[in-house]
Structure 1
Amino acid sequence: MLKTVCQVSSGLRKELGEKYYNLENIVYAVEAYSPIDEVYYVGYNVPAKNPIYGQFFKFVQTPNSYASAKTVVEIRYALHLDTQWRRFIVCKEMCHALDADEGTHSATDRSIEAIVSGFSLMSARQEFLDNPLKAMTAEILAEIGAVELLCPLEVRSRIITEANGQYEKYCDEFGIPRQIASLAFNENIIASVRTMIT
């Protein structure tokens, strides 16, 4: 999944430069640079107490007998999310969809908190690469993929050297939720991703 996500983010950088990408641009790049042909994202009304932030449905559709089959992903996100979290959840669900053949997946507030906590505890690359919990690994990879779509690896590497540990400004600039700054701007995670995509 991460290789495909990095192809998408590379396409975004090539076409739009190093800046804030709106969700429409990210979706367009996913459709252009990945096996997913169409992505739709829609909000659904749930109380803020509802633990489900988002989910995706992926299916193959053949409009008629003369048309080629196309892979479609529909992503739902909770309307109570602010703009940064909505973008992050939609990107994370797209990353899950890149990894899944067909089906569904849901993101809950608890799973996101667990992943952010888990990342803050991981300091060595090998710990990340050898994580035995497959479900957790899938979540972690989708989180990393979402960050990559919002702010590419090369940009994050440069920010780490410039920011002096102060990442709030950069989170705001690239539309990344501040709560996941430790995931987005972590040298060990960036090094691990580089290892995984080469």
Structure 2
Amino acid sequence: MALLDPVHAVLSEYHRRYDMRQVEIRIDLLRPIFEDMGYVDKIYWERFFFKSKYIIAQIKTYLQDMGPYKGVGSYARIQFSENLNYCWTRFAICKEMYHCILDAQPGSRITNTGDLLTLSEYLTDDLLSELADEADKFAPFETEKLAEIMAIETLIPIELRRHLADALDGGLVTPHQIALRYRIPEEYVGISMSAGYFSAVIRGRDGKLVDLS
């Protein structure tokens, strides 16, 4: 199993249902896919006031009675900071939904501002390239960084953004314009468009990309 197989599975199903060329990639349409592929039956999210300004999102999973004849099921509740803008809200929810696939069992996770965007430090150390070759090296990061990478690869898929590399290098398009187009935080555009990241993601997906034809 390739490191980023869940991304390929989610995007393939999204494209089959909705056509991923119609950007932005919508999180409300992603939700039923995660419910089908993950370990929870239902996913809910809500805006929330956190006492700490450093918390941007959290996910908790529960068991509940699903009603007559359905027995007991499970659901995930994602709460995201009321201070997040539209792009950051989309990213935070997508990242937390990946925990419904990645985490081995129900639990609770909190995402702090300090946990995010350090991904660029790992990329400059070529760590992601190593992880694409040997998945068990990802263990020190548990699933937090993997969920972050998967959220990037879902909301601005390599299938769609790779044709923008030359335009970005040539100054024909700016990171801000790309962020607006795909509705992701601009901070992640530079990460996702770097040459080293491109090659690492291709290897992490074992060369499998969604056929957009």
TM-score range, shorter chain: 0.7 to 0.9
1:171 to 175, 179, 191: 179
Partner of 1:63: 66
Bigger drift between 179-188 and 79-88 goes to: 179-188
The amino acid of 1:116's aligned partner reads S
Partner of 2:44: 40
Assess, with a 3 A threshold, how the Cα gap between structure 1 residues 135 and 96 changes in structure 2: closer, same or farther.
farther
Q: What is the CA deviation profile of residues 48-101 of structure 1, one whole-angstrom value per residue up to 9, with x for unaligned ones?
A: x61111111123434357314433111110010111011101111111221111
Assess, with a 3 A threshold, how the Cα gap between structure 1 residues 180 and 61 changes in structure 2: closer, same or farther.
same
Describe the SS at the equivalent of 2:205.
Answer: helix
2:148 to 133, 143, 151: 143
The amino acid of 2:107's aligned partner reads G
The amino acid of 2:4's aligned partner reads L
2:117 to 113, 120, 133: 113
Query: What is the 5 A alignment of 1:118-133?
Result: 118-122=122-126, 125-126=129-130, 129-130=133-134, 132=137
2:65 paired with 1:54: no
Distance of 2:185 and 2:13 partners within structure 1: 23
CA contact (8 A) 2:98 2:151 kept: yes
Partner of 1:8: 10
2:99 to 75, 96, 117: 96
CA contact (8 A) 2:202 2:208 kept: no
Aligned length: 197
Partner of 2:191: 183
Distance of 1:90 and 1:127 partners within structure 2: 24
Bigger drift between 50-59 and 154-163 goes to: 154-163
Partner of 2:206: 195
Larger helix proportion, structure 1 or 2? 1
Distance of 1:46 and 1:160 partners within structure 2: 38
Assess, with a 3 A threshold, how the Cα gap between structure 1 residues 70 and 2 changes in structure 2: closer, same or farther.
farther
Question: Structure 1 length normalisation: TM-score?
Answer: 0.82
2:86 paired with 1:83: yes
Describe the SS at the equivalent of 1:177.
Answer: coil
Distance of 1:5 and 1:93 partners within structure 2: 14
The amino acid of 2:98's aligned partner reads C
Identity %: 19
Bigger drift between 164-173 and 129-138 goes to: 129-138
Higher CA-based Rg:
2
Show structure 2 runs of 5+ residues with no match: none
Question: Structure 2 length normalisation: TM-score?
Answer: 0.77
Cα distance, 1:170 vs structure 2: 2.0
RMSD value over aligned CA atoms? 2.8
Distance of 1:105 and 1:192 partners within structure 2: 28
Describe the SS at the equivalent of 1:8.
Answer: helix
The amino acid of 1:57's aligned partner reads K
Describe the SS at the equivalent of 1:149.
Answer: helix
Show structure 1 runs of 5+ residues with no match: none
